Homo-oligomer: A and B are copies of this chain.
Amino acid sequence: MRELLRVPQGHRIDLRRFDPRATPGGPRDKAAALAAAGPMEQRLASLQERLYAASTAGDGRRVLLVLQGMDTSGKGGTVKHVIGMFNPSGCRITAFKAPTPEEHAHPFLWRIARAVPRPGEIGIFDRSHYEDVLIARVRELVPRSRLGSRYGQINRFEQSLADEGVTVVKAFLHISRAEQRARLLERLDNPDKHWKFSPGDIDERALWPEYRHAYELALERCSTAAAPWYVVPADRKWYRNWAIAQLLLEHLEELAPRYPEGDFDVDECRARLIAT
């Protein structure tokens, strides 16, 4: 399935040509997606345990899922869904907000490097270093020349992650502008959701074409062999959840982690244990 969503390297991207309601490679409908979830969850949990177990014997491999998308595209909901399928103890979730003064005093990749999953872990980034070429571009937070050099810095950084055994899976959750309006209205209509809303969200939304363009550049320039981008249609939450799980499944199956063999005498240990 992942080849259907993968952004080809070195091509121009026009996000308007990607349908946010599409369901490439996915189950027929929501009911079918729910039915598929159980078996997928079992396979994912089993693969994660193997990955973690392998790390205890020196296997340095790990997985990093990077989630990006416009406001309300479902990054938080995806995190909840993904974690629900794994053992959370083996996951490292980081939500990146506006940089703190300390983070700001460092190169933009500093806080990212610190959050990279350790061997055996599944890391999840809710936003990431891509904000530094997205909002940073749209809001002109840095001079254009510095911005321009960041794409190459990102590619070299992600290459070094791959070299260290990190499988980087970058998912752009693609929603339509109409769907964002509906989701923001839902927040406004429910007083219990007001804390999630800020009038600034409407100002950001007004910059939709500028953000789309910034995403197109990031997808074009940073979908590499070492760390490809996937465009995940996200207007339908059931497809989004299925697609993210499927992406992780395909990558984990490719890694094919194995339980390490014990370096002890099982029979002797059993005898000692029974004696206690």
Measured in the bound complex, the distance between the Cα atoms of B134 and A172 in whole Å is 47
B53 & A195 in contact (Cβ 8 Å cutoff) = yes
Contact A274 B181 (CB under 8 A): yes
Q: Does A266 contact B (CB under 8 A)?
A: yes
Find chain B residues with CB under 8 A from A194 CB: 259-262, 264, 266
Q: Which of B88, B192, B261 contacts A93 (CB 8 A)?
A: B88
Binary contact track A238-276/B, C-beta < 8 Å → 1, others 0: 000000000000000000000111101010011011101
Interface residues of A in 69-105 (CB under 8 A from B): 76, 79-80, 83-84, 87-89, 91, 93, 95
With an 8 A cutoff between CB atoms, is A235 at the interface? Answer: no
B89 touches A273 (CB 8 A): no
Question: Given A195-B57, A264-B198, A89 and B95 touching (CB < 8 A)?
Answer: yes
Q: How many copies does the complex hold?
A: 2
Which of B87, B196, B199, B273 lies in contact with A80, CB distance below 8 A?
A: B87
- Assembled-state Cα–Cα distance A241/B95 (Å): 28
Q: How far is the CB of A47 from chain B (nearest CB, A)?
A: 12
- Contact, CB under 8 Å: A80 / B76: no
Contact indicator A195/B269 (Cβ below 8 Å): no
Tell me the smallest distance from the CB of A168 to a CB of chain B, in Å.
20
Supposing A93-B89, A126-B89, A198-B264 touch, asked if A185 and B270 sit within 8 A by C-beta, the answer is: yes
By the criterion CB–CB under 8 Å, are A262 and B191 in contact?
Answer: yes
- A269–B205 Cα distance when bound, in Å, is 12
From B57, B84, B126, B181, A84 is in contact (CB under 8 Å) with B84
Cβ-defined contact, B276 with A205, below 8 A: yes
Other contacts beyond A181-B273, A206-B276: 8, CB < 8 A: A53-B196, A79-B89, A84-B88, A88-B91, A89-B93, A189-B270, A191-B259, A197-B264
A positions within 8 Å CB-CB of B: 53, 56-57, 76, 79-80, 83-84, 87-89, 91, 93, 95, 126, 181, 184-185, 188-189, 191-192, 194-199, 202, 205-206, 259-262, 264, 266, 269-270, 272-274, 276
A-B contact list, 22 entries, CB within 8 Å: A53-B195, A53-B196, A56-B195, A57-B195, A80-B88, A83-B88, A89-B93, A181-B274, A181-B276, A184-B273, A185-B273, A188-B266, A188-B269, A191-B261, A191-B262, A194-B261, A194-B266, A195-B260, A199-B264, A202-B269, A202-B272, A202-B273
